[in-house]
């Protein structure tokens, strides 16, 4: 994500929150340009430390999302802060997305999942209309009000399950456009291409960018970022890219170059700290359901790509 951002724009500063000592150590050794690394010791509050006891690693990361944005706005001299998921990859300058919000005189920017028909049937109720992947808050009173309410909600409840209209940090966003007039829903189709909405678009590639087209109305756009949700690097040198249908064209255009980048970065980081390789996972075989899923993927090669030689 960082390297793609640096390639497409130098008008940014990235604040990376290191949630473990190994990550902190590696990031400090890399000495990345336009980056400030924040440790848990600097960031965590007593509130967060208390709820951390009863949440998984993923749930705790979600819990911290609004607190991370709040920390930046409160501790750094910035006009606005955009939270970005680490599994995004930028194909053009994302400043056009923030500019769209400002041009509409809004102070909070959120992005929709834009589910395709089949994923929407089972995905939207559980995961919500909006995706916490790229979300911007201006440093002004009305924006901070939205952020502070969200921060308190996530501290109170943020779990990896659907319960009473809630799911993680994400379902809370569903009522924002109805509750807050300063919230802008991104209209740029290139912000938020992801496995769950791919079938709505066709794509073409030139030397410097990837163009997209909405199938139903032929509206064209530049792809700004792709959300590589679920990508798992496996110990056997393969990569599991999830369960959504992903065509051979999409795999070749998006996934194969992305995995090559990941492999190059893995090699560089391994030279800094060999213990990093413990982050690569094995196929999940801890119960019959997962054994069946793993067997299906391995036998039919479904969404299993080569990760490295």
pLDDT tens by residue, 71-82: 999 999 999 999
State the architecture of 2-87+96-189 in CATH terms: Alpha-Beta Complex (3.90)
Name 14's Cβ contacts closer than 8 Å, sequence gap at least 6.
2, 5, 32, 34, 35, 36
- What integer pLDDT is reported at residue 90 of this predicted model? 98
206 falls in which pLDDT band (50, 70, 90)?
confident
Three-state DSSP state, 240: strand
Among 194, 260, 220, 223, CA closest to 91: 223
Give 242-272 pLDDT, tens digit per residue.
999 999 999 999 999 999 999 999 889 988 8
Extents of the domains making up the chain: 2-87+96-189, 233-309
Mean pLDDT of 5-9: 95
User: How confident is residue 280, by pLDDT bands cut at 50, 70 and 90?
Assistant: confident
Averaged pLDDT for residues 189-199: 97
pLDDT at position 183 is 98
H-assigned helices in the chain = 2-8, 21-30, 40-43, 46-52, 57-75, 95-103, 117-127, 141-156, 176-179, 248-250, 256-272, 288-300
Q: What is the pLDDT of residues 72-130, one digit of tens each?
A: 999 999 999 999 999 999 999 999 999 999 999 999 999 999 999 988 988 888 899 99
Exposed e or buried b for every residue in 249-274, given b needs 16+ CB within 10 A? ebeebbbeebbeebbeebeebeeeee
* Confidence check: pLDDT of 224 > 70: yes
Q: What is the pLDDT of residue 184?
A: 98
Amino acid 309: pLDDT? 65
In this structure, the chain runs to a length of 309
Neighbours of 181 (CB within 10 A): 10
**CA separation (Å) from 54 to 68, 126, 155, 180?**
19, 22, 11, 31
39-73 per-position pLDDT tens digit = 999 999 999 999 999 999 999 999 999 999 999 99
Q: Average pLDDT of the chain?
A: 94
pLDDT of 292-301, one tens digit each? 888 888 888 8
Packing angle between helix 256-272 and helix 21-30, nearest 10 degrees? 90
Residue 285, pLDDT above cutoff 80 = no
The pLDDT of residue 34 is above 70: yes
What pLDDT digit, counting tens, does each position of 165-193 carry? 999 999 999 999 999 999 999 999 999 99
Q: What is residue 172's predicted lDDT score, i.e. its pLDDT? A: 98
Instruction: Provide the pLDDT for residue 212.
Output: 97
Is the pLDDT at 286 greater than 90? The verdict is no
């Amino acid at each position: 994500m960082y390297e793609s951002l640096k390639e497409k724009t130098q008008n940014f500063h990235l604040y990376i929150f290191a949630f473990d000592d190994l990550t902190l150590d590696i990031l400090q050794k890399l000495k990345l340009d336009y980056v400030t690394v924040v440790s848990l010791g600097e960031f965590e509050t007593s509130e967060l430390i208390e709820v951390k006891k009863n949440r998984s690693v993923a749930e705790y990361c979600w819990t911290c999302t609004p607190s991370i944005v709040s920390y930046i706005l409160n501790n750094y001299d910035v006009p606005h802060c955009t939270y970005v998921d680490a599994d995004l990859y930028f194909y053009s300058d994302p400043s056009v997305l923030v500019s769209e919000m400002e041009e509409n005189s809004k102070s909070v920017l959120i992005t929709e999942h834009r589910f395709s028909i089949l994923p929407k049937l089972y995905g939207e109720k559980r995961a919500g209309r909006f995706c916490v992947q790229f979300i911007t808050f201006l440093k002004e009173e009305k924006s901070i009000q939205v952020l502070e309410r969200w921060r308190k909600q996530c501290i109170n409840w943020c779990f990896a399950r659907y319960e009473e209209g809630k799911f993680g940090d994400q379902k809370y966003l569903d009522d924002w456009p109805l509750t807050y007039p300063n919230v802008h829903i991104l209209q740029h189709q290139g912000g938020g291409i992801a496995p769950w909405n791919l079938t709505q678009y066709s794509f073409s590639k030139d030397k410097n960018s990837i163009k997209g087209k909405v199938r139903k109305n032929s509206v064209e756009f530049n792809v700004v970022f792709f959300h590589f949700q679920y990508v798992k690097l496996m110990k056997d040198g393969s990569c599991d890219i999830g369960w959504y249908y992903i065509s051979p064209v999409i795999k070749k255009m998006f996934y194969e170059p992305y995995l090559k980048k990941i492999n190059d970065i893995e090699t560089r980081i391994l030279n800094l700290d060999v213990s990093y390789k413990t982050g690569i996972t094995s196929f999940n075989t801890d119960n019959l359901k997962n054994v069946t899923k793993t067997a299906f993927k391995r036998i039919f090669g479904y969404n299993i790509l080569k990760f490295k030689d």
